[in-house]
Amino acid sequence: MPANPLVLVHGYSGDAAAFKPWESILRARGYDVTPIHGCNYRSLTNEVTIRDLAEGFDRALKVRAGLGAGEPFDAIVHSTGMLVIRAWLAAYTDRRQRLKHLIGLAPASFGSPLAHKGRSWMGALFKGNKQLGPDFLEAGDRILDDLELGSRFTWDLAHQDMLGSETFYGPTKRTPYVFVFCGAGGYSGIRKLAEEPGTDGVVRWAGCALNTRKIVLDLTVDPSRSGAGKRVAVEAWNNTDIPLVPVAARNHGTILSDPGSELADMVESALKVNSAASYDAWRSMSAARTSSTLAKMGKWQQFVIRARDERGDPVSDYNVQLFTCTARGREREMRPFDLDVHTYQADPSMRCFHVNLGSMRVDTLENLWIRVMASSGSRLVGYHGFGSHDAVSPDTPSASSDGKWDGELDISSLIDDTGVQFFYPFTTTLIELTLNREPLPLDGVNQVCWF
């Protein structure tokens, strides 16, 4: 087994003891257990954020684990532990060369559908801190906010380590080799009542992998003007693809407590990867080994949409729908797209859409359109954009006097096999949507400012 020290990072409300089964497995496979360091952190206190945990992790590496400033190490992380280690990596450039292998077990790379429920009274009662003191029954509000679907934290972090100009996760020794696993099963008994489809009981399959892409839809661009920018664009991608590797008959808990021989084999071989060639070979091996499991899971995708105006201010009241046009010009709404939507509580301009692509017949699409509906909630100002059919502005009859607007945009270029596709299972796609916000005339008179 590799000679690098191994660091284990648990998930929300857990502790290092959760990794005891993995320590036993590694010991049985010949791993020298003396350099295994189980990390503990506080997640059930309302004042701490994940970025706080990341900096605390860095200090603990030096003080508690005894690792030197530049000493390399490997990491196995569970659930929220992935966000802790990613935030640690994103803080300083030189950390990427220090972390050699990163194994994600059911990582909450884009949060969890249970996070916003954890801040409720029931969540505090069942998951809250049980130790008497100032943090009694606290559930870790700021960490749960970071973990909420569509959160600003996961959006910003993805822009740092996956969508930035630098390579964080490449196929060479200059960055960590990353491997992402998630159980293909869910819980049983009463815990099954709280889980949703397309998850391991806690995290979404589509929200685990580190291969997200970003699409920009800018409806402020007037296509009739020469030199106008693109209304539909895909941002650059500088990392290697890190897909989801499913683990049969495991859920969010048993992937730690009872991982099984298949997962143990794949993790053992992952820790031995030391070149681009061996990394590619490992990915081919794992894909072949788990293809039958993946085929039984459906085709789930997650979209995180952030809507803002041309000034960068949030658009809080909006909705989006997808539809396709038939040869006869009729619209067929792709209804399942907007049936499972979570609005981020701290900022309603950010929303997470969870979609089962198998129910949307996406493989046979010849075109794709998006309809945007937005409202300012006021007759004084309104949103508008330039759709593919007509240029709409507050001065045209298409503008509503109550601040409501809707427009359509042809995004068929995003279903072309030659480029980044809009639909891609087991991934999270970020969408930046930009609209204009302008004063609305009432009876031909500007009601916001006049002379």
138/279 same-domain check: yes
249/321 same-domain check: no
Q: Choose one of 295, 317, 344: the last residue of a domain.
A: 295
Specify which of 41-50, 155-164, 191-200, 407-416 reaches the highest per-range mean pLDDT. Answer: 155-164
The answer to whether residue 229 is domain-embedded is no
This prediction has a pTM of 0.92
Mean pLDDT lowest among 228-232, 377-381, 400-404: 400-404
Average pLDDT, the chain: 88
- d(Cα 36, Cα 8) in Å, to the nearest integer? 7
403/366 same-domain check: yes
Task: Judge contact between 75 and 102, C-beta under 8 A.
Answer: yes
What is the per-residue pLDDT for 190?
67
Strands (E), 95-243: 99-105, 177-183, 213-218, 232-234
Q: What Cα–Cα distance (Å) separates residue 327 from each residue in 231, 331, 337, 362?
A: 24, 10, 22, 17
265/334 same-domain check: no
Residue 429 confidence class, pLDDT cut points 50, 70, 90:
very high
Closest CA to 439 of 396, 392, 379, 390: 379
The answer to whether residue 337 is domain-embedded is yes
Above pLDDT 90, what percent of the chain? 62
Task: Judge contact between 304 and 155, C-beta under 8 A.
Answer: yes
384/253 same-domain check: no
Q: What is the CATH number of the domain that holds 246?
A: 3.40.50.1820
The answer to whether residue 108 is domain-embedded is yes
Give 246-268 pLDDT, tens digit per residue. 999 999 999 999 999 999 999 99
What is the per-residue pLDDT for 391?
43
Residue 26 has which token pair? Answer: 């590694």
What is the per-residue pLDDT for 126?
44
Q: Choose one of 295, 316, 333: the last residue of a domain.
A: 295
Task: Judge contact between 184 and 296, C-beta under 8 A.
Answer: yes
What is the per-residue pLDDT for 230?
87
98/62 same-domain check: yes
287/395 same-domain check: no
* Torsion, Cα of 136, 83, 117, 205 (10° steps): -150
Place of tokens 């950390």: 95
19/118 same-domain check: yes
Which SS3 state, helix, strand or coil, does residue 219 take?
A: coil
**What secondary structure, in 3-state letters, does 311-351 show?**
CCCECCCEEEEEEEECCCCCEEECHHHHCCEEECCCCCCEE
Q: Give the mean pLDDT of 80-85.
A: 97
Q: What Cα–Cα distance (Å) separates residue 434 from each residue in 235, 353, 423, 437?
A: 15, 18, 21, 10
> Does 441 have pLDDT greater than 70?
yes
Task: Judge contact between 439 and 447, C-beta under 8 A.
Answer: yes
Give 279-292 pLDDT, tens digit per residue. 999 999 999 999 99
More reliable by pLDDT, 315 or 3: 315
What is the per-residue pLDDT for 135?
43
The answer to whether residue 135 is domain-embedded is yes
Tally of domains in the chain: 2
271/306 same-domain check: no
What is the per-residue pLDDT for 226?
66
Q: Which residues contact 445 (CB under 8 A, 6 or more apart)?
A: none
> Does 129 have pLDDT greater than 60?
no
Q: What is the CATH number of the domain that holds 318?
A: 2.60.40
The answer to whether residue 403 is domain-embedded is yes
Look at strands 331-333 and 318-325 and give their pairing.
antiparallel
Q: Which residues contact 294 (CB under 8 A, 6 or more apart)?
A: 184, 244, 246, 426
Look at strands 232-234 and 331-333 and give their pairing.
unpaired
Q: In DSSP terms, which residues pair with 342 in a beta bridge?
A: 352
Closest CA to 340 of 355, 350, 329: 355
> Does 123 have pLDDT greater than 80?
no
Give 48-82 pLDDT, tens digit per residue. 999 999 999 999 988 877 787 789 999 999 999 99
The answer to whether residue 1 is domain-embedded is no
104/12 same-domain check: yes
Q: Give the mean pLDDT of 7-26.
A: 94
Q: What Cα–Cα distance (Å) separates residue 261 from each residue in 22, 25, 250, 288?
A: 11, 9, 12, 16
The answer to whether residue 225 is domain-embedded is no
140/81 same-domain check: yes
The answer to whether residue 175 is domain-embedded is yes
Q: Which domain holds residue 304?
A: 300-446
268/400 same-domain check: no
Q: Give the mean pLDDT of 263-278.
A: 96
More reliable by pLDDT, 192 or 149: 149
What is the per-residue pLDDT for 85?
98
DSSP 373-428: EEE-SSSSEEEE-B-SS-B--TTSTTS-TTSEEEEEEE-GGGG-TTS--S--TT-E
Q: Give the mean pLDDT of 41-54.
A: 91
Give 182-240 pLDDT, tens digit per residue. 999 988 776 766 678 999 999 999 999 999 999 999 999 887 776 667 899 999 889 99
Q: Give the mean pLDDT of 14-33.
A: 89
- d(Cα 245, Cα 27) in Å, to the nearest integer? 24
Q: Give the mean pLDDT of 87-103.
A: 94
